[in-house]
Structure 1
Amino acid sequence: MTDLKPMTFNGPLEAGIRAVAVLGSAYPNSFDIQTLTAYDYLLVRTSVLDGPEDLHPSAPIQTPATEVRRKIVQNALHMMMTRDLVERDVGAEGISYRAGEAAAMFLESLTTPYICALKERAEWLTDRLSDYDEAAFDEMMREFFDRWMVEFQDVQKVGEDSAS
């Protein structure tokens, strides 16, 4: 009997599909790695924006491990670029990413219930955040970060109290 490994949603393939879904729904817009990292988190946690039910089950601590997630998203983007699903743009403002030539056909070919829900949420998310300029988006994410830090400190405090 083979050991079954727990299902992960945080490998480069899964993050790559999420990135292609976001970039496909936002086409022709492009996003930098920081924004795509935030979108990667928000895509599966749409309820924090008063949106659809979260795609992934909730965890005790909702804090996204930003550096870890950023690395995963970066690896995912590189993987998707090798398949023409994502294009990298280098301009005066830095590096950004947009849906590649094969993105629309790729997304249309994915029809599982999970992927359909993912694509619906990507459409909802990019529509919901389309009016945010960079400063407003950064402020929103800062507010989430502040809330997550308080949440983490509360959970840590409870752990310390129970250890006493």
Structure 2
Amino acid sequence: MAALGDVPLFNSPLETGLRALVVLDAFYPRPCTISELTWFDHLVVHTADVEGPSSLHPDLPSRGGELLVRRQLIDEGVHLLLNAGLIALVDGADGVRYVAGEEAPSFIELMEATYSARLKSCAEWLADRFGALPEEELRTVVHQRLGRWTLEFQGEGTLYEPSA
């Protein structure tokens, strides 16, 4: 068993899974695909990119490339919290989606650090801003803000070329 000091906390499935949980809780009862969670994970920490509150993370010039590594981390993080019962799977006609589990609000309430409070606030803003958008419109927003190449590297399931 690895020592606690050997467990990565930043850019880990645990970190991205917890952010996904906060986002899913803010969006509840709207279920999200893994692609949407990947986009929301980026947008929740870079809210200023979409005319939102000040971003949680620094505005680095190559931050659009972050999506390239986030997809797998989000997938691993969601499954980690799915196994913990904090995220629930919704299997519908349009595929697999995820929602905050029954215990999510109680768990999230325990997150009291300054960063956590800002994350929750940004997630609420994100849900208010994008919660009603269908996935296709959300893809268009991501395409316009982050560029087509970030979508291409996420795979065929997320590639979308908006009409001109």
TM bin (shorter chain): 0.7 to 0.9
Bigger CA drift: 57-66 or 122-131? 57-66
Q: Which residue in 1 is equivalent to 2:34?
A: 33
Aligned partner of 1:74 in structure 2 is 75
CA contact (8 A) 2:30 2:131 kept: no
Match of 2:57 in 1: 56
Equivalents in 1 of 2:149, 2:79: separation in Å?
Answer: 29
Number of residue-to-residue matches in the alignment: 145
Confirm or deny: 8 A CA contact 1:63 1:148 kept in the other structure: no
Partner of 1:120: 121
RMSD value over aligned CA atoms? 2.1
**8 A Cα contact 2:88 2:101, kept in partner:** yes
Say if 2:42 and 2:67, in contact at 8 Å, map to a contact too.
no
| Whole-angstrom distance in 2 between the partners of 1:57 and 1:66 | 15
Letter in 2 for 1:69: R
Deviations along 1:106-164, one digit per CA (max 9) or x if unpaired, are 00111010101100100010111123222211111111233888xxxxxxxxxxxxxxx
Aligned to 1:157: none
What is the rounded CA distance, in whole Å, between the counterparts of 2:146 and 2:54 in structure 1? 21
Q: Percent identity?
A: 36
Q: How many angstroms apart in 2 are the aligned matches of 1:44 and 1:64? A: 14
**C-alpha distance 144-8 of structure 1, shift in aligned 2 (>3 A):** farther
Counterpart in the other structure of 1:20? 21
TM-score by length of 2: 0.81
**Distance in 1 between residues matched to 2:75 and 2:62, nearest whole Å:** 23
Partners in 2 of 1:46 and 1:148 — Cα distance? 20
In structure 2, runs of 5+ residues without a counterpart are 151-164
* Deviation, structure 1 residue 8: 5.8
Q: Which has the larger radius of gyration?
A: 1
CA distance in 2, matches of 1:60, 1:82: 36
Residue type at the aligned position of 1:52: P
Counterpart code for 2:37:
L
Gaps (5+ residues) in structure 1? Answer: 150-164
d(CA) in 2 for partners of 1:25, 1:132: 15
Q: Which amino acid aligns with 2:110?
A: S
Q: Would you say the 8 A contact 2:50–2:145 is kept in 1?
A: no
For residues 93 and 105 of structure 2, what CA distance do their matches in structure 1 show? 27
Deviations 1:55-92 (A, max 9, x none): 01222312134342110000000111121110111111
2:92 corresponds to 1:91: yes
Distance 2:148 2:96 in 1: 29
In 2, the alpha carbon distance for the partners of 1:145 and 1:57 equals: 16
Aligned partners of 2:149, 2:75: CA distance in 1, in Å?
A: 23
Structure 1 letter corresponding to 2:140:
E
Asked if the contact 1:37–1:69 (Cα under 8 Å) also holds between the matched residues in 2, the reply is yes
